[in-house]
Amino acid sequence: MYKAPVEEIAFTLKHVAGLAPALDGGYLGDLTDDLVDAILAEAGRFASEEIAPLGAIGDIEGARFADGAVKMPDGWPALYKAWAEGGWNSLTASPDFGGQGLPHMLHVAALEMWNSGSMAFAIGPTLTIGAIEALTAHGSDHLKNTYLPKMVSGEWMGSMNLTEPHAGSDLGVMKTRAERRDDGTYRLFGQKIFITYGEHDFTDNIVHLVLARLPDAPAGTRGISLFLVPKFLVNEDGSLGPRNDAYCHSIEHKLGIHGSPTCTMIYGDGRFGEEPGAIGWLVGEENRGLACMFTMMNNARLAVGMQGVAIAEAATQKAIAYAKERTQGKAPGWQGSGMSPIIEHPDVARMLLTMKVLTQGARAITYACAHAVDMAHGEDARHWAERASLLTPVAKSFATDAGVDVASLGIQVHGGMGFIEETGAARLYRDARIAPIYEGTNGIQAIDLVTRKLPLSEGNHIRGFIAELRDIAAKAAASNMPALGETGERLTASIADLEIATEWLLAAVSEGRQVEALAGATPYQRLFGLVLTGAFLAKGALADGGDGRNEERAALCRFAAENVIGETAALRERVIGGAPSLAAARAVLG
């Protein structure tokens, strides 16, 4: 069973991702090191003891749809209630509406642990927190006062409604329409698909945030507005009024995250209310809905990245436990009697260490991204906002790919038992597979990284970041830690691969060689993630964490440098030379 790795998480937050210097520098208000530890410990306890034990039943029963209602898995409504009562919904929310106003770093660390417990459970609250964020930034005072206190307390949940059948990534072709009414409200008509937690029995009300188009809106993404559409209308006194004309038509039968209801939502077909039309309120300005969504898009992408880390951590723990218990054959050099635990076989150890490296690398990248989000509210805001922007696609893609790869290795370590659902390794493999897709596929992250993030500050932001990475590699090379092996040289070489690929892409983008740049976007994104993995592991090995585990961290870092990140040279070649053969082979696909 999953046990939250609170110490490793605290170490990574503080000594790799930047929390310790931020605390020391007073950048995070009156947050103290002790409070950080206490929050992490309690979030971890909740994940390990409350969520994780209900993960399997959520998968087996799934969310069940009947007569327009969704029945959540047994025990989950009570779990949600305990979670909300624990104050977890309000961690980062504004104190003006009952929130605790804590840094984003703590939120992502908690998210990791909750998702390790059950990704299908954690995704619901995550989306509510996103809705709170959008409403806080863009809602009118009336909307904020009416909805935010109950959303922050967790009494009501939220949902995000973007996707339509013909419009997944391309929101510009959206068809859901909104009509103005004289009283300042709107009526919405349309269908949305893939709406996570669009309907459930956790809360009495659900606050849908819905993108739609006004009749006179300009075409494309500049003609989209954001609306708040509650499942039940809210009376003046805050009590629930009549049912709004918005409902769940059906839910999807999915590969994984079975406990998370994925809803087709119908707005305004007249099933409820006196006349057809779901009653909605504008959030932000007309035709500026996409900007409102972008406020939270980066954080949502990072939240999905946390799911990747979470699955990877859970799969690694499970595989290590199994490999220590299961005996089979005799490993070379095995001195014990009888068969050796399979962890003694070099190939099994290789799989487990690769899992650990990818998990820890993904964790460090995502936490560093959250750190940049936090720092972007203080001095040097532009620098940190750019850092957050740059790291978001890498964090989302690398971590979610790691989730899939590590879960797959986890099954392999289990052998035949991994293919049996009762073992639980298969659930992680199934759940993991959505994360590289939603909130923008990893391919779209790569396009974002190459065409919008690298050019920030004319390429000087990424150059400055690479200089920071070189500094880490130099420190590793200059260190007197034999345990680091060839880390310094290997990391230096990989950073050079990143630098060459970066300059090539910057030139391609600025010269308008779009096809070439995009052909190399995914290999570049992978290259970036591998380099960051090596660099952050080295930073951790060199850090003074005060826990006496530097040698152990150095050993894992060395394994990463000598056995995991060596693909950077091949990836660099693909970035700068892969496009012509890709274009030439396109005809093969017919």
User: What residues are annotated to the active site?
Assistant: 439
CB of 389 to a copy of itself, least distance (A): 20
Instruction: Map residue 265 onto helix, strand or coil.
Output: strand
> Do residues 6 and 44 lie in contact, with contact meaning Cβ atoms separated by under 8 Å?
yes
Q: Is 141 exposed, middle or buried, given 0-12, 13-18 or 19+ CB atoms closer than 10 A? A: exposed
Alpha-carbon distance of 164 to 256, in angstroms, equals 21
Rounded to whole angstroms, what are the CA distances from 485 to 79, 472, 554?
A: 47, 15, 9
Answer for which of 261, 418, 488, 545 binds a copy of itself (CB under 8 A) is: 418
Answer for which of 412, 455, 489, 496 binds a copy of itself (CB under 8 A) is: 412
Under rule CB under 8 A, which residues in 424-483 are in contact with a copy of itself?
Answer: 426, 429-430, 433-434, 436-438, 441-443, 446-447, 483
Q: Dihedrals φ, ψ of 161, to 5°?
A: -115, 95
Nearest one of 437, 352, 368, 359 to 402, comparing CA atoms: 359
Alpha-carbon distance of 526 to 317, in angstroms, equals 24
Buried b (16+ CB within 10 A) or exposed e, 362-375: bbbbbbbbbbbbbb
CB of 111 to a copy of itself, least distance (A): 20
Under rule CB under 8 A, which residues in 322-341 are in contact with a copy of itself?
Answer: 323-324, 327-329, 332-333, 339
CB of 192 to a copy of itself, least distance (A): 12
Q: How many CB atoms lie within 10 A of CB 583?
A: 12
Answer for which of 351, 362, 481, 538 binds a copy of itself (CB under 8 A) is: 351
Based on CB atoms, which residue is closest to a copy of itself, 235 or 514?
Answer: 514
CB of 275 to a copy of itself, least distance (A): 33
Contact region with a copy of itself (CB under 8 A), list: 43-51, 68-76, 100-108, 422-430: 422-430
Instruction: Map residue 191 onto helix, strand or coil.
Output: strand
Applying CB under 8 A, does 358 fall inside the site for a copy of itself? no
**Interface mask (CB under 8 A) for a copy of itself, residues 245-284, using x and -?**
-------xxxxx----------------------------
Contact region with a copy of itself (CB under 8 A), list: 65-73, 419-427, 462-470, 471-479: 419-427
User: Residue written as tokens 């750019």?
Assistant: 386
Tokens coding 11: 């170490």
CB of 253 to a copy of itself, least distance (A): 5
CB of 121 to a copy of itself, least distance (A): 18
Contact region with a copy of itself (CB under 8 A), list: 135-143, 231-239, 376-384, 579-587: 579-587
Q: Which helix (H) or strand (E) holds 539?
A: helix 521-542
CB of 227 to a copy of itself, least distance (A): 22
Give ∠ CA 362-366-370 in degrees, rounded to 5: 165
Nearest one of 113, 111, 156, 107 to 131, comparing CA atoms: 156
CB of 114 to a copy of itself, least distance (A): 21
Say how many CA atoms lie within 13 Å of 163 toward its Cβ: 15
> DSSP string spanning 432-463?
HTTTTTSSS-HHHHHHHIIIIITTGGGGHHHH
Under rule CB under 8 A, which residues in 11-30 are in contact with a copy of itself?
Answer: none
Contact region with a copy of itself (CB under 8 A), list: 268-276, 302-310, 320-328, 460-468: 320-328
> DSSP string spanning 156-186?
SEEEEE--BTTBSS-GGG---EEEE-TTS-E
Alpha-carbon distance of 294 to 171, in angstroms, equals 12
Answer for which of 345, 363, 387, 526 binds a copy of itself (CB under 8 A) is: 345
Strands 246-251 and 262-267: antiparallel
Based on CB atoms, which residue is closest to a copy of itself, 87 or 168?
Answer: 168
> DSSP string spanning 299-320?
HHHHHHHHHHHHHHHHHHHHHH
Diameter over CA atoms, the chain = 84
Answer for which of 163, 250, 295, 479 binds a copy of itself (CB under 8 A) is: 163
Q: Dihedrals φ, ψ of 566, to 5°?
A: -65, -15
Based on CB atoms, which residue is closest to a copy of itself, 38 or 583?
Answer: 583
Applying CB under 8 A, does 208 fall inside the site for a copy of itself? no
**Interface mask (CB under 8 A) for a copy of itself, residues 120-159, using x and -?**
----------------------------------------
Under rule CB under 8 A, which residues in 541-560 are in contact with a copy of itself?
Answer: 552, 555-556, 558-559
Contact region with a copy of itself (CB under 8 A), list: 36-44, 134-142, 180-188, 418-426: 418-426
Contact region with a copy of itself (CB under 8 A), list: 19-27, 321-329, 365-373, 540-548: 321-329
Strands 206-213 and 157-161: parallel
CA 424, distance to chain mean position in Å, is 22
Applying CB under 8 A, does 33 fall inside the site for a copy of itself? no
- For residue 218, the 8-state DSSP code is P
Based on CB atoms, which residue is closest to a copy of itself, 231 or 414?
Answer: 414
Based on CB atoms, which residue is closest to a copy of itself, 84 or 407?
Answer: 407
Strands 262-267 and 186-196: antiparallel
Considering CB under 8 A, how many residues would be counted as binding a copy of itself? Answer: 93
- For residue 48, the 8-state DSSP code is I
Answer for which of 285, 347, 468, 471 binds a copy of itself (CB under 8 A) is: 347
Under rule CB under 8 A, which residues in 475-514 are in contact with a copy of itself?
Answer: 483, 485, 514
Contact region with a copy of itself (CB under 8 A), list: 74-82, 136-144, 346-354, 388-396: 346-354
**Interface mask (CB under 8 A) for a copy of itself, residues 382-411, using x and -?**
----------------------x---x--x
End-to-end CA distance of the chain: 48
